[in-house]
Structures are given as structure tokens and as C-alpha cells.
Amino acid sequence: MPESLRCCPLCRSPDAAAVSDRDREGHPNVTVLCLRCGLYRTDPMPDQAELTRFYRDLYRLEYKGVIRPKGHHVLRAARAARDRYRWLLPYLSGRRRWLDIGAGSGEFAFLMNRQGHQALALEPNRGYAGYIREALQVPVREGFLDDLGPESEKFDGISCFHVLEHHPNPVAALDRLRGLLAPSGILAVEVPNIEFPYVHPRNRFHKAHLVHFSLTSLALAAQSAGLRPLEHRTSGDGGVLWSVFEPGEVQPVRPLPGVANQAMASEKRRSAARYYGSPAVWRRAFLRLTALGTERVRALTMPAPKIYLSRLSLH
């Protein structure tokens, strides 16, 4: 393993402390915290060939047990797509050409097109890319962000929901995304919030997530890729980070003093006992179970995904 791959992909510091040695399936998977900037990362990173094969062929299958989404997956993804559309609505006027990266089963790209935008979905998984094309009739390209070179067309808006955490080098990915934006383009990013307290300590690290962001480390990564925040916050329940960026100046990475120590202290405070002792955890579990049950029942009578999405209220 070259030494550079053992350094932090954000600030290049080699100083790191292990915070977990298992993924949420219980398999060996070491996650470290950068002691300079506070970015969490898998260590060592898997190599690129391994990653490409994983996403092209295996990821959705391993993740959900299917190659194509089932009805209840579509219902859940449609709700997420509607929430994201509502979040981004203030930015959408006049932004016609849109790229949705890591489009999954394509619900967001479908809704964008339904609302008059010209959205292209980019999805690395063959099964899902085929589903987007055939079931939703949304323009789709099967591939990765790295497949869009500098000669690619530019976009008025790019969304990447739950994508950056899968990249071994998020600054390089953000830099590439910036290169795909038109001069007045915007980039919408959603990633899991590593500081979210209501997760069992054993369930925090998924082997497909190679880096893990806080609001602070995502802001640093964006700055160092020449992106300026228009909006940068946690979602309503705090589980994910929601950011909208525009092209700006590339800034050197200057982590705030103490940011990594604070993250380390909060890691030490996490425990299963603390998790189970939190009323918010039980409240969330109840709501989640109720929503899952409702989804399963509604999925029994839902129309074809395209018809369902065509009728979905966005207001």
C-alpha cells in the first residue's frame, strides 16, 4: 500500500486514530479519524479495480437483495426524492440542464424531468441503470463520475445524494464535480452525518462508505475543491448533511484547532448503554417501524413506478 493512500485524503496528514475495527455486518473493517482535520476514513482504502467491480455488479444486490427495486423500495425512494426536490426548489429556477450522480433507481431524475428540467441520470450499476431507462424512460448513462471527462457537457445543476462517502478521495471527486458545473451552476450534496448521535455504535460503519463527514469536514473538503457554500446544514432529523455549493476560489485546507480532539472525545462518549438509554432512539425506532409497515402495505396496491411518480404530489 503506497504511503500516500494511508494519509488523509483531505488534509494529507498521516496522523490518525482508530475508532472502529468492524463494519456493521461484523466483518473486519478499520475506520480511523484524522487527528488534524477530523475526517473519518477506511484504512487502508480498497484499490480502484475492486471498487469498480463492486459498484458495477454487486452493490445494489448486496445492499438490498435485488437487482431491480421492489415496490416498497420505490415508495421509500420516491419520498426521499420528493423531500430533496422540496429542499432544492429555491435553487431550481432557470437551471435546466441537470445531472443526478449515483441516481439509484432514478426517482429524483424522473421528478426533475417531470417538472420541466432536462435531467440525465448517471448510475454505475447495470441493473439499476437498465431499470431507469426501461421503467422510467429517464435518460441515463451507466458509469461513474470519473467517466465524465473535462470534455463533458456542463450542467446548471448537479445532485449527488449519498455518493461522496463512497469515494476514496472526496476532494478529487468534488473537484471533478466543480469541473462539470456551468459558471452559474450549483452542486447539491447529501451525505450521512457522522456526528448523528442516534445510531448504535456497532451500526455506524458500512464497508461501502470510505469516508465519513461532519459539517466541518465537508465544508473543508468543499473549500479545498473550490466550492463555496450557499447552504450548509443538517437535515431536519440531523441524520444527513445537506449542502448546496457554487463555484468559488480554491482554499488551502486549514482545519480549526481542536476539531479532531472534539471528534475523538465524542467517539469516547458513544456506547451501547448510552444509545439504548436515549428516548429519542426509541421514538425513532417506532416511527421507522410504522413507516416500514405502511410502505409494505401500500406497495401491494401501488401502480407501476412511472405512474406512481407521475402522480406524486410535490407540495
What is the binding site for Zn ion (CB under 5 A)?
8, 10-11, 13, 34, 36-37, 39
Long-range CB contacts (within 8 A, 24+) of 276-285: 278/197, 278/198, 280/197, 280/198, 281/198, 284/198, 284/237
Distance CA 93, CA 72 (A): 31
- Closest separation between CB of residue 24 and Zn ion, Å? 24
Q: With beta carbons less than 8 A apart as the criterion, state whether 208 and 250 touch.
A: no
Residue 176 phi/psi, 5-degree rounding, is -65, -40
Q: Which is nearer to Zn ion, 32 or 148 (CB)?
A: 32
Distance CA 136, CA 124 (A): 17
- Closest separation between CB of residue 220 and Zn ion, Å? 8
Q: Which is nearer to Zn ion, 8 or 121 (CB)?
A: 8
What is residue 217's three-state secondary structure?
helix
- Closest separation between CB of residue 236 and Zn ion, Å? 29
Q: Which is nearer to Zn ion, 10 or 148 (CB)?
A: 10
- Closest separation between CB of residue 265 and Zn ion, Å? 17
* Residue from 191, 193, 255 nearest 223 by CA: 255
Q: Which is nearer to Zn ion, 127 or 168 (CB)?
A: 168
- Closest separation between CB of residue 137 and Zn ion, Å? 43
What is residue 270's three-state secondary structure?
coil
Q: Which is nearer to Zn ion, 100 or 195 (CB)?
A: 195
